[in-house]
Amino acid sequence: MTTSDEQSSSSRAPLPEGTIPVGIGLLVAGLASFAFLRVGKNAMGGDDQFAPVLSLWFATFALAPGFFLPLEQELGRAISARRALGQGGRPVVRKVALLGIGLAGAVIAVVLALGSVITDNYFDGDWVLLVALVVAFASYAPVHLARGIASGSGRFRAYAVVMGADGAVRVLLCIALAVAGATSAGAYGMAVALAPLAGFFWVLSRGQLHTDDGPPATWGEVTPNLGWLLLGSVFAAGLVNAGPVAANLLKADGQEELVTQFGYGVLLSRIPLFLFQAVQAALLPRLAGLAARNQLSEFRAGFRKLMVIVIAVGVVGIVGSYLIGPFVIEKMYEATLSNRTMAMLALGSALYMAALAMAQAVIALKGHALVALGWGVGMATFVLVTWTSSDDLFRRIEYGLVASSFAAMVSFAVSLHARLRAGITPSHQSMMEAIIDMPFES
């Protein structure tokens, strides 16, 4: 077979292992998010009553993926590396589990220490929701460890079950509470908090988290990039959920309904991000493979194609949000948002999507510290712009979301250009970390 034939065959290669089940898991999780908002709002009697639960939901996804996704990444990478050598991964699981317990304990301690401040300023004095936030954060520790074991072991159906069951069970619990006539925010908050454990216990009961014993694991084996991954992940997950969290903190008396409706708009603007995650799960491994073979010109061409897809999806999302966004959100949630607000939210999501694609490429090229720096720049930009740009609640946050994602994107573009010019190629470790770097969840 000639070189051109080999390249043609490679271009027609099937999707990487796990793409379809993980894509299905993402789809289920996304659809469940929309259903949860509608069911929860109707069950609790309106936007004002549902606002605290929605605030809990966004706070949970600002915290949990940010702190636990790096553990999932490092666990999946380490197990995969051992699997390639025919070695069992149980010692690695023990090490990462200890890290997870320590990290969860430290964050929960900080949340409890600031409990009165958080409760008064974010949950409108409802202590039950603070407890729900702590339970939700703790619940995601075993969930992310399970996903790390599943991805590293090549059990992608189990990975998809853990991901999809979270959203599906959340909706089912809300329906059960609605049928039972429950209307308290605390009850629905605990449904949010406990839902992620359903998928974990399901795959655990079926033996899909089993790992064989193997050589002892050192801390160096499981933590080579953990610090940078943790810092970048906290900023990235915080940034994608910063809009609703900031709206809840900055709202004036009587604006609870507006904050809830803003949350609906943020979720609708994320539809292109859901689509992008499915696409990048298929394309990123191929890009990393090209770079690993030092085919940097092909890598650049492939990455340009990925960015064309990102731009196309982003433009469609922005135009669609401006033209029909207010109509869709009115029909789905009986909410009122302007064309400008919907378009600005979609623009922020499109820029975040482009930044995420570049960040994953930089991680594949071993630029973990540069990715942490880029997301840090984005978060600092959000705080600065939101603080200084306007007195209007929606407008200041919209400006902050657009400016912060643009700043992060520019930072990653500069870093990616520098890594490619330097001729840096990915390792197996960096490829695994890039493939599963998804700080955005719902």
pTM for this prediction: 0.84
Q: What are the CA-CA distances from residue 239 to residues 77, 136, 164, 407 (Å)?
A: 25, 19, 23, 12
- Average pLDDT of span 82-88: 88
Asked if 139 contacts 193 with a C-beta cutoff of 8 angstroms, the reply is yes
Q: Is 307 exposed, middle or buried (0-12, 13-18, 19+ CB in 10 A)?
A: middle
What span, in angstroms and rounded, lies between the C-alpha atoms of 394 and 335?
A: 15
Query: Is 92 a residue whose pLDDT tops 50?
Result: yes
- Average pLDDT of span 251-273: 84
What span, in angstroms and rounded, lies between the C-alpha atoms of 379 and 419?
A: 23
| DSSP string over 144-193 | HHHHHHHHHTT-HHHHHHHHHHHHHHHHHHHHHHHHHT---HHHHHHHHH
- 374: its two tokens: 């880029």
Query: Is 238 a residue whose pLDDT tops 80?
Result: yes
The lowest-confidence range among 24-33, 289-298, 305-314, 335-344 is: 289-298
Q: Provide the mean pLDDT of the chain.
A: 85
The residue among 228, 234, 269 whose CA lies nearest residue 379 is 234
Asked if 154 contacts 83 with a C-beta cutoff of 8 angstroms, the reply is yes
What span, in angstroms and rounded, lies between the C-alpha atoms of 431 and 413?
A: 18
pLDDT band at 386 (very low <50, low <70, confident <90, very high): very high
Report which DSSP code applies to 251: P
Span 137-184, pLDDT tens digits: 999 999 999 998 998 888 888 988 998 899 899 999 989 998 898 888
Asked if 349 contacts 213 with a C-beta cutoff of 8 angstroms, the reply is no
What span, in angstroms and rounded, lies between the C-alpha atoms of 284 and 266?
A: 26
Query: Is 378 a residue whose pLDDT tops 80?
Result: yes
- Average pLDDT of span 278-304: 65
Query: Is 104 a residue whose pLDDT tops 90?
Result: yes
Cα-Cα end-to-end distance for the chain: 46
Span 188-206, pLDDT tens digits: 999 999 999 999 999 999 9
What span, in angstroms and rounded, lies between the C-alpha atoms of 321 and 195?
A: 30
103 vs 74: which has the higher pLDDT? 103
